């Protein structure tokens, strides 16, 4: 069972989509990555780019983020995300778009971008390039990328931290140039 780990919704269960290729972030991985992000969360603006059930954006809201934007190309996943938002009494902007279209439509800057695409998608460099080109990441912001492959920091980016949780590898990308595109 998925649940909120900490914050005002601590222990609350989350509905999850059960489909082929769906692999929610484990509680162990989620707890660890949110410990790393703890100082960034209060008042943060968060984008959960491949949101699935919305667990990462919802955990962020529970821990003090001021706003979360959720995106997924799957209508079924988004239905679960909306159900979880309602169950927790939270609000967020929800898009049913390809990640490229979401990044093209997004406005303002984000403090944290969660990107946990299906493992078969090899789009890390493309996603980071789109974020940089559109200036979507705050100068002190971070992109948290989950993958089963080793990712490299493309030009203009650096890996601030890297963790492994079984098959999952989590990379914390920051702009090497202080956020300038």
- 1 vs 142 pLDDT, higher one: 142
> Hey, how many other C-beta atoms are within 10 angstroms of the C-beta on 83?
15
Between strands 110-115 and 137-147, the pairing is parallel
What pLDDT, on the 0 to 100 scale, is given for residue 181? 37
| pLDDT for residue 167 is more than 90 | no
Report how far apart, in Å, the C-alpha atoms of 115 and of each of 8, 106, 121 are: 24, 15, 11
CA distance 127 to 80: 24
Per residue in 28-79, pLDDT (tens digit) is 888 999 999 999 999 999 999 999 999 999 999 999 999 999 999 999 999 9
Per residue in 108-161, pLDDT (tens digit) is 999 999 999 998 899 999 999 999 999 999 999 999 999 999 999 999 999 999
For 2-175, CATH gives 3.40.50.150
> Hey, how many other C-beta atoms are within 10 angstroms of the C-beta on 22?
15
CA distance 162 to 103: 24
What pLDDT, on the 0 to 100 scale, is given for residue 161? 96
What pLDDT, on the 0 to 100 scale, is given for residue 22? 59
What pLDDT, on the 0 to 100 scale, is given for residue 20? 58
Residue 119: partners with Cβ closer than 8 Å, 6 or more residues away? 21, 23, 147, 148, 149
Q: How many CA atoms lie within 13 A of 108 on its CB side?
A: 11
pLDDT-derived band at 27, boundaries 50, 70, 90: confident
> Hey, how many other C-beta atoms are within 10 angstroms of the C-beta on 105?
12
CA distance 24 to 2: 8
What pLDDT, on the 0 to 100 scale, is given for residue 166? 87
pTM of the model: 0.94
pLDDT-derived band at 21, boundaries 50, 70, 90: low
| Sign of the C-alpha dihedral computed for residues 103, 2, 142 and 115 taken in this order | negative
Give, in degrees to the nearest 5, the angle at Cα 18 between 16 and 23.
80
Question: What does the domain layout of the chain look like in residue ranges?
Answer: 2-175
Average pLDDT of 168-179? Answer: 87
What pLDDT, on the 0 to 100 scale, is given for residue 180? 42
Please name the residue ranges forming H helices in the chain: 27-37, 55-62, 75-88, 99-105, 124-134
CA distance 11 to 5: 6
């Amino acid at each position: 069972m998925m649940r909120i780990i900490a914050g005002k919704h601590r222990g609350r269960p989350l509905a999850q989509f059960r489909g082929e290729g769906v692999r929610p972030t484990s509680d162990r991985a989620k707890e660890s990555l949110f410990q790393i992000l703890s100082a960034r969360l209060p008042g943060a603006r968060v984008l959960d780019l491949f949101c699935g059930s919305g667990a990462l954006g919802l955990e962020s809201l529970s821990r003090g983020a001021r706003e979360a934007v959720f995106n997924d190309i799957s209508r079924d996943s988004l239905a679960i995300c909306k159900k979880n938002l309602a169950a927790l009494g939270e609000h967020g902007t929800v898009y049913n778009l390809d990640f490229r279209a979401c990044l093209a439509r997004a406005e303002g800057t984000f403090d944290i971008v969660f990107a946990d695409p299906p493992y078969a998608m090899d789009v890390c460099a493309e996603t980071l390039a789109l974020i940089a080109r559109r200036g979507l990441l705050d100068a002190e912001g971070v992109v948290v990328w989950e993958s089963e492959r080793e990712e490299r920091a493309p030009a203009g980016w650096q890996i601030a931290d890297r963790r492994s949780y079984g098959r999952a590898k989590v990379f914390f990308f920051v702009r090497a140039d202080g956020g300038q595109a």
